[in-house]
Chain A
Amino acid sequence: MELGVYSFGDVQQENGKLGPTSQAIPNLLEAIKLADEVGLDFFGVGEHHTDYFPASSPATILSAAAAMTKNITLSSAVSVLSTDDPVRIYQQFATANIISGGRVEIVAGRGSSTESFPLFGYDLKNYDELYAEKLDLLMKINALEKNEPLTWEGQFRAPIQEAMIVPQPEHPIKIWLATGGNPESSIRAGALGLPIAYAVIGGQVSRFAPMVDLYRKAAEHYEQTGDHMQVAIASPGYIAEDAQDAKDTFWQAWESTMTTLGKVRGFAAPTRSHYDAESGRDGALFAGSPEEIAERIIELHKRIKHTRHYFQMDVGQLPHDKFLQSIELLGTKVAPRVRKALASGN
């Protein structure tokens, strides 16, 4: 089981207001460096384009992180593939991959936040068609042999004639399909032979178990086998020594971020009782003590056999020092417990 963290780059509070977006980037790099030092397996940076989530360019951050870290796997979480150029995404991630010595991956999603569509001039009417086509192109580029030129034609970008797409890392980049729970996405990942990352950000985690079954069934049906057919879970989470402290601290961050998102997306702000339910046993929010979080990961693993679980901790202006403490606890207290339990088959 690989454990890790993901972030959209949380802008800190300054005098009761949102501080500068620039500060989020060095904060993020500091967090990634720490995650590597405490032995975590994964750090993902998710593309967003807002004044509260400013990590609009994951590959750039990952390139810097690649040069600062030794072992940790670095990835987008997610890249909004639908509104980007797959050639460009490939080039940027391939470059970061080479800098890191092969540690950089791509988690590609359709985009649950849609601000990149108007920003880059795409029509949400083509939400799924854009993704399908761009994923096809990205996979084709990634599968090219050494020095093999690419010829490709599609609906949403200019055709490509005998073009070299460089640089090529030594091995293909690991590409994951990200989904928020649309069943068709599980089938698509299975059919295409891609590992799958589920974003579980609300409700009960167990509702994803049938989705994972569907993914594996689709993989079997389309004869996509191999060790790379893995399942990852991305969920909000926060760890503190004391369980109640963890829940209270993360509630403030969660309430703040969901209220902001609610205003943008037109849904009601969360209530504490709702939060308490969702940060309980089967909930999507993994806020708690190291023991509790380890137990919940192990419990979930029994059902869905995921190989990677990563947590979004820094939302809603969570103080940066608390973010770092939570990363440290994940690496030093949660991870050893989970590894031990899974190694002994519990």
Chain B
Amino acid sequence: MATNSKLIIGIIGAGRLGTAIARQSLKAGHRVNISNSRGPQSLELMLGVLLPGAVAMTVNDVAQKSDIIILAMPLNKYSALDPEWLAGKIVIDAMNYWPPTEGRIPEFMNEQVTSSQYLQQHFDRARIVKTLNHVAYNEIEEHSLPPAHPQRRAIALAGDDDAAKKQAEQFIDTIGFDTIDLGDLQEGSKFQPDTKLFNARLTKAEIEQIVR
């Protein structure tokens, strides 16, 4: 898919992060499908005011009808998603295992396995890319800059599927950020909570320096 092609972005979770990504996606000219836990009707008021143009759907429909699916819901609700819905799909995991905000989740407590690796095992046929998780939701809009801007912020990615990562990188470029591919899903450990990259405004060169 060419850099400028318009995508259908499917967002699961219509809270702070989900609506911020949705707004940036609409601005970039993509189509947006979005869902929460309570069904499309519950989103009508919100979309009318905050996201005109976005389409409310069930979670399953979002998964079936979108090019890239973005998980933007609390991680502690992940088991509400049927792995079948995500099978074969490019899935951006923007969530965090972050005990100070969502509490401890026993299956995510193994420090050898990143939260996205755990999700990859659980959603075994999804093509998971970990990214967008380390940027505060408001900064997805406030820090967005055009390509080649010297201060353009970079967003890290990790994933086991190269083609999926490529597509995620192209998408992130359209919403105003550079990207930096840090390797397979294990490398997600470099930009989880409690790392130097988490919630820090950094350019690609600055991230390279930190992770090298």
| A residues whose Cβ falls under 8 Å from a Cβ of B | 114, 117-118, 123-125, 127, 180-184, 187, 202-204, 207, 210, 213-214, 217-218, 221, 262, 264-268, 271, 274
Contact = CB atoms under 8 A, between A and B. Distances in A.
Contacts of B98: 265-266
A268 B196 contact: yes
Given A181-B16, A202-B136, A266-B198, A214 B100 contact: no
Contacts of B139: 203
B100 A114 contact: yes
A266 B194 contact: yes
Contacts, number: 80
A221 B45 CA distance: 9
B73 to A, nearest CB: 12
Given A183-B50, A207-B138, A207-B142, A124 B102 contact: yes
Contacts of A203: 136, 138-139, 142
Given A207-B138, A210-B50, A214-B46, A117 B201 contact: no
B199 interface: yes
Contacts of B112: none
Nearest to A113: B100
A180 to B, nearest CB: 8
A187 B45 contact: yes
Contacts of B14: 183-184
B49 interface: yes
A174 B141 CA distance: 35
B50 to A, nearest CB: 5
A89 to B, nearest CB: 22
Interface residues on B, range: 20 to 34
Contacts of B183: none
Max chain B Cβ within 10 angstroms of own Cβ: one of A123, A184, A204, A264: A184
Instruction: Sort A-B residue pairs by CB-CB distance and give the 5 closest, nearest first.
Output: A124-B103, A266-B193, A267-B199, A203-B138, A266-B194
B110 interface: no
A5 B106 CA distance: 40
B101 interface: yes
Given A125-B103, A183-B50, A203-B138, 13 more contacts: A114-B101, A124-B76, A124-B103, A181-B16, A181-B137, A183-B15, A183-B16, A183-B46, A184-B46, A187-B45, A207-B141, A207-B142, A265-B193
B200 interface: yes
B198 A268 contact: yes
A184 B103 contact: no
B142 A182 contact: no
8 contacts: A124-B103, A181-B16, A202-B136, A203-B142, A217-B45, A264-B100, A266-B100, A268-B200
Contacts of A221: 45
A125 B80 CA distance: 13
A114 B48 contact: no
B35 interface: no
B65 to A, nearest CB: 22
A210 B49 CA distance: 7
B6 to A, nearest CB: 24
Interface string B170-188: 0000000000000000000
